[in-house]
Amino acid sequence: MSAIVWETVQDQVLEETYYRATFPGGLEVQVCPKPGYSTAYALYSAKYGSLDAAIVYPDGKTLQLPEGTAHFLEHKLFESDEVDAFALFAKTGASANAFTSFEKTAYQFSCAEHFEKNLEILLGFVQAPYFTQTTVEKEQGIIGQEIRMYQDDPNWREFFEMLGMLFPVHPVCADIAGTAETIAEITADMLYECHRRFYHPANMILVATGNVTVDTAEEIVLRLLKPAEGEPARRPAMVDDAAPAQRSAALQMPVAAPRFLLGWKERTGGAAPNLRQSLLAELCLDVLLGETAPLYEQLLNEGLINPGFCAEYFNGPGYAACLLGGETKQPERTAALVREALQTAAQLGIEAEAFEQARRKKYGQMVKQCNDIEQMARRMTQAYFNGDAYFDRVALLRGFTVKDANERLQALFREGYDALVITEPLKIAKESEAV
């Protein structure tokens, strides 16, 4: 049996400790035991999301994949006819799920009992693909329904409308689930090949948090981890730094109030923004658009926004943007006010006091996050895929000054790099009939 060397990672301020190790084949395992917790949570993720539009082999050859393949594979692994993961977890009482994002596919369970058995199930089905052309075709119908459901969600529709304008040549602009047409091209062979390349141990991480021990995790992973086959797929640089050609779009949907979504693209040079850049961007957005911002107060008092208004720094490999929006009675006017205020702020900078407030708030969020074993595991996973570590956030935050924020601000709101989506309510002819 190979000896696993565990590294202890600690943060004195948060009073938290976790352990990390590299397992055979390159699998990263991180375990954060939380004394006093009743539940355990495990998250097993592959660095394979909707962005990975092709398999790139070590010799440079590529295999193009239809949009929605990563999400399709997630469905098929979780719910294959041979080994239905839901049915297996029902025998332990755990609640389990899976999700696919732009950058990753993740499988999770949380449980109050039988952690060992649950981890065996999780590692078992994610590593055991089984597809036939028949099961693939059945799934095409189920996912077709899921895609239709998303079409009714105004947030989803606006979001992808925006990505289409900001990143027209970056795979982030494609719907994670694909379309009915693209998923119809998926075959069983294609899914097997994606599984071999993207679910390679060196492309994955397992995180366990809560009522867990390092010894248990080590024993189970060593016993069940399958040997690596060949090389993992590589993710090529994805550059899309041009100013958006189209900068406004309009949607009509059965919503009650008009809505707007405003986005500013940032040039990344094909890389993902680092932790320092993304934390500073989040702090800048909180200072400029959060509930303590003069602009927020003005918009609220003028009747232009409601508490659903929010801003986020959306970023990943080769894409980054500040996105903000919500319901508003006057989309054009609200967007114009926000644009003007942000461009002014980018020139004048933000004040030290406001920055300090945002920094303190962020620190509070980081402390609170340690109560939540699911959120911790997600952060640990994301940090690993980004090439940093969970506690780096706290250490970086401690060192920030308002000068750092003001330097960062310059790159965020570039002239000519913004776009606007407005959703107008479709007139709902409220017909109804009683039988």
Partner 1 sequence: MALPLRLGEPKATAANAMLPYLLRRSCAAYPTPRLLESRLAALYGASLYAGAAKLGETHWLSLSLSVIEDRFAFAGDSLTADCAALLEELLFRPRLAEGLFSAEAVELEKRLLCERLESEQGEKRIHSIRRMEALMCGNEAFGLNAYGTPEAIMALTPADMAAAWRNLLSRAKMQITLVSAGDGAAVEATFRGAFAGITRDPVVLGGEFIPAASAVRSFTEYEPVEQAKLVLGFRVGMRNRDDHNFATRMMADIFGGGVYSKLFTVVREEKSLCYYCAARANRYKGTMVVFSGVDRAKAEEAREAILEQLAAIQEGDFSDELIADSRRSLRDTFFSVVDAPESLADYYSTGLITGEYLSPREIYERLEAVTREEIIAAAKQVTLDTVYLLCTAKKEGDAA
Window 261-320: residues binding partner 1 (CB under 8 A): 290-294, 296-297, 300-301, 303, 306-308
Nearer to partner 1, 168 or 294 (CB): 294
How many residues can be counted in the chain?
435
Residue position matching structure tokens 């009522």: 211
- Using the contact rule CB under 8 A, the part of the chain among 46-54, 126-134, 189-197, 366-374 near partner 1 is 366-374
β-pair partners for 262: 324, 420
3-state DSSP call for residue 273?
A: coil
Angstrom distance (rounded) from CA 86 to CA 194: 23
Nearer to partner 1, 129 or 326 (CB): 326
- Which residues, 346 to 365, sit near partner 1 by CB under 8 A? 357-358, 360-365
- Which residues, 77 to 96, sit near partner 1 by CB under 8 A? 79, 86-87, 89-95
> Which entry of 67, 74, 103, 282 is annotated as an active-site residue?
74
Nearer to partner 1, 229 or 351 (CB): 351
**CB-based burial of residue 7 (10 Å sphere; 0-12 exposed, 13-18 middle, 19+ buried)?**
exposed
Please report how close the Cβ of residue 174 comes to partner 1 at its closest, in angstroms. Answer: 18
- Using the contact rule CB under 8 A, the part of the chain among 110-118, 164-172, 234-242, 381-389 near partner 1 is 110-118
Is residue 110 involved in binding partner 1 (CB under 8 A)?
A: yes
Nearer to partner 1, 53 or 186 (CB): 186
Distance set, CA 246 to CA 31, 89, 167, 391 (Å): 46, 47, 10, 40
Nearest to 249 by CA among 233, 260, 258: 260
- Which residues, 160 to 219, sit near partner 1 by CB under 8 A? 210
Nearer to partner 1, 141 or 168 (CB): 141
Please report how close the Cβ of residue 420 comes to partner 1 at its closest, in angstroms. Answer: 19
Sequence-ordered alpha helix ranges (H) in 10-114: 69-78, 85-90
Is residue 128 involved in binding partner 1 (CB under 8 A)?
A: no
- Using the contact rule CB under 8 A, the part of the chain among 22-30, 139-147, 179-187, 403-411 near partner 1 is 139-147
Provide the greatest CA pair distance for the chain.
Answer: 70
Angstrom distance (rounded) from CA 397 to CA 363: 7
Residue 28 among the catalytic residues = no
Residues 6+ apart with CB under 8 A from 54: 62, 63, 64, 65
Please report how close the Cβ of residue 1 comes to partner 1 at its closest, in angstroms. Answer: 32
Written as one letter, the residue type at 29 is: V
Which uninterrupted H or E stretch holds 210? strand 204-210
Q: How many residues bind partner 1 (CB under 8 A)?
A: 71
Residues marked active site are found at 74
